Structure 1
């Protein structure tokens, strides 16, 4: 059966579900040593992402948050992807949730004058790395990242996607 899901911008009402989804994937699935306290942006989504001109989207199946992606607008036409997560039962190309989340972010970024999107991830997230590469992201050395890019201390692999004008 095909998964029915919708992509919407997050509201404060979903904060607890978003934190639960992300921590479960980080801690239990991938054994990444990170807590909610290490990610204060999650309890202040509006201030951290939306106020500076970015956005935070969620994928929902009925009333359940099953995916997330966020864009930080750091100015100078640069965006940074954060919090790209899809619940393990909803992953896969055939479901298309990660793809739809990413397209939503890219479409938004291009309307906001963002022409380069950066991201950082960790080596053990190989499926995520392959996903980004399939979507045109190119590896970039940490030393070549924009100076204004906020870094996550655990990130080891970095990518950039250049958006074409009129895309």
Structure 2
């Protein structure tokens, strides 16, 4: 158990499937106006097959057993990985809750344990608070041209970051 209100960070299991979608889609669609659907994100329909392979994994932040945050790590080969699907419900954001920080710490500890040397991420220009969070937590902005060829760039990605765990 971590954080305020007994937040627990656990590896994804199929029992979390609906709750994960209920965290991610409203943030993408309603908060940020990104025209994306569940059907447009096949990774969300098969988290074990997409993320929980090789050095990858996917974690869920639970508050009272209900998902309030997510973070995914996609193994892209060569001891490198992509951070994906980091979302925290508005009710659980901010330093006082520590949900985002605990999710990221869990992912970085996994990376150290699994010998992942570099973590890359792509984000949209709209996620200004996310940019500050990543920069405060040791990520440095890089040019798209500096991404590994195996990094899966999403259509909405316009800013890119890298960090060694």
Q: TM-score range by the shorter chain?
A: over 0.9
Alignment partners' CA distance in 1, 2:153 and 2:18: 24
The alignment of Structure 1 onto Structure 2 pairs a total of residues equal to 162
| Cα shift at 1:3 | 2.2
Tell me whether 1:95 sits opposite 2:94 in the alignment: no
| Matched-pair contact (CA < 8 Å) for 1:68–1:84 | yes
**TM-score, normalised by the number of residues in structure 2:** 0.96
Deviations 1:68-104 (A, max 9, x none): 0000111111011000000000000111010000000
1:12 aligned residue: 14
2:69 aligned residue: 67
Q: Which runs of 5+ in 2 are unaligned?
A: none
Matches within 5 A, 1:1-167: 2-163=4-165
SS of 1:50's partner is coil
**TM-score, normalised by the number of residues in structure 1:** 0.94
| Cα shift at 1:52 | 3.1
SS of 1:155's partner is coil
| Matched-pair contact (CA < 8 Å) for 2:122–2:153 | yes
Q: Which runs of 5+ in 1 are unaligned?
A: none
Alignment partners' CA distance in 2, 1:139 and 1:131: 12
| Matched-pair contact (CA < 8 Å) for 2:138–2:163 | yes
SS of 1:22's partner is helix
Kindly report the root-mean-square deviation, in angstroms, between the aligned alpha carbons of the 2 structures.
0.8
Deviations 1:38-94 (A, max 9, x none): 110001000001123310000001121000000011111101100000000000011
Deviations 1:86-139 (A, max 9, x none): 000000011101000000000001111101000000111000000000001000
Runs ≥4 residues deviating over 2 A: none
